[in-house]
Amino acid sequence: MTMNIAALALLDGLAYASLLFLVAVGLTLIFGVLGILNVAHGSLYAIGAYATATLGQWLVAQGFNPWLTFPGMIVAAVAVGVLLGGLIERLLLQRIYSKDPVLQLLVTFAVFMILENLQRMIWGVQPYFMSTPLTVLGNVRLLGINYTAYQVLFLPAAALVVLFTLRYFLRHTNMGAQILAVTEDREAATAIGINASRVYFMTFVIGACFAALGGALATPTTSLVTGMGANMIVLSFAVAATAGLGQIEGAAISALIIGIARSFAVYLSPEIEVIMPYLIMVLVLLVRPNGLFGKETVRKI
């Protein structure tokens, strides 16, 4: 393995990790606050991607400035997150917060099946492409390698912006403080006048937007195929579990570990590329059952 390939793998991994983080952070945020593992998260990712592709292709076909595809990605992601996420929370999740976690998991699985089917009905099974943002940003030279600026600069920057905005939002704004309070103790938070069901709604919508944003930003670098959501949910869970469910900063670190390990596997031994994330997850959980940064839960007698 030459230095060149190592650098290439590192840059690949960085771009991939940024996308992984965006999706995983939404999953982990929702789990941390609502206590629900949202299986439909992968579908939101896929639909975010498809919506972006459709919007981007339309913008380009109408002859708009190709730079407009950047705000287009955000618009598509937020629209998908708010609309679908809001509907799912309002119509379904609100009814099941008091139910068995197993049933909650299954409800989100049912939503996943429905969304997966709708996505096939709307966009069909043909692969979609929309690489305009990739081409307008051009290439840069990093570590002696020509690489697309979109992947090595824009994606990591987007991930960092999300990470720090989320940190700021949770630690320094009123809404963020309310979310943290509800996470800590829902009853106590309600007692001091926090509208917990609104907090749940907001959290779910924000998480859904992150999933859709992950999909939107993945659009220029991947071809959109059916089944991309099913794969992403497992991957983002691996990232979230490795970090410890509910750990936001931890998710960034484990996304980096998994992303970079995976891209090195691509160059070193492509056979184990796909199983790399799970391998890391299993190894981490063997040593630390609650993930790298997770806390021990207290057992009730």
Partner 1 sequence: MKKGLVAFALLLALALLPFAASNMVVFATMVMAKGLAVLGILVLLRADQVSFGHAMFFAAGAYTAAFLTAAWRDIDLILLLVATLAVTGIAGLLIGVFVTRYRGIFFGMINLAFSMVLYSILEKAFHITGGSDGLRIRRPTLLGFEFSRSEFDLVMFYVVLAVAAACCVLVGRYLLSPLGQALRAVKTNETRVEYLGLSAKSVLLTGYVISAMLCGLGGVLMGLVQGLASPEHAFWSRSAELVFIAVLGGQGHIAGAFAGTLVFEWVRTSAAALLDDSWQLILGVTLIAIILWAPGGLIQLWHRLAGRRTSSDRTGSESGVAE
Positions touching partner 1 (CB under 8 A) are 31, 37, 39, 92, 95-96, 99-103, 105-107, 109-114, 116-118, 120-121, 230, 234, 237-238, 241, 245, 271, 274-275, 278-279, 281-282, 285-286, 289, 299-301
Tell me the HSE value of 19 on the side-chain side, using a 13 A CA sphere.
Answer: 27
Q: Which is nearer to partner 1, 45 or 237 (CB)?
A: 237
Its sign, for the CA torsion 177, 199, 166, 106, is positive
3-state helix, strand, coil in the chain (%, to 5): 75, 5, 20
User: Cα(121)–Cα(118) distance, rounded to whole angstroms?
Assistant: 5
Buried b (16+ CB within 10 A) or exposed e, 96-127: eeeeeeeebeebbeebbeebbeebeeebeeee
CB of 6 to partner 1, least distance (A): 24
CB of 169 to partner 1, least distance (A): 25
CB of 5 to partner 1, least distance (A): 21
Q: Which is nearer to partner 1, 118 or 188 (CB)?
A: 118
Q: Which is nearer to partner 1, 3 or 110 (CB)?
A: 110
CB of 193 to partner 1, least distance (A): 30
CB of 126 to partner 1, least distance (A): 14
- Per DSSP (E only), the strands in 136-215 are 139-142, 145-148
Nearest 5°: phi and psi at 120?
Answer: -65, -35
Q: Which is nearer to partner 1, 156 or 246 (CB)?
A: 246
CB of 101 to partner 1, least distance (A): 6
Q: Which is nearer to partner 1, 51 or 232 (CB)?
A: 232
Minimal CA–CA distance to 35: which of 203, 164, 249, 191?
203
Q: Which is nearer to partner 1, 188 or 275 (CB)?
A: 275
CB of 59 to partner 1, least distance (A): 29
How distant, in Å, are the alpha carbons of 116, 130, 234, 259, 263 from that of 274?
A: 22, 25, 11, 11, 10
Q: Which is nearer to partner 1, 26 or 156 (CB)?
A: 26
What tokens appear for 29 in the block? 């945020």
The alpha carbon of residue 174 and the mean position of all alpha carbons in its chain are separated, in whole angstroms, by 24
What tokens appear for 190 in the block? 């309600």
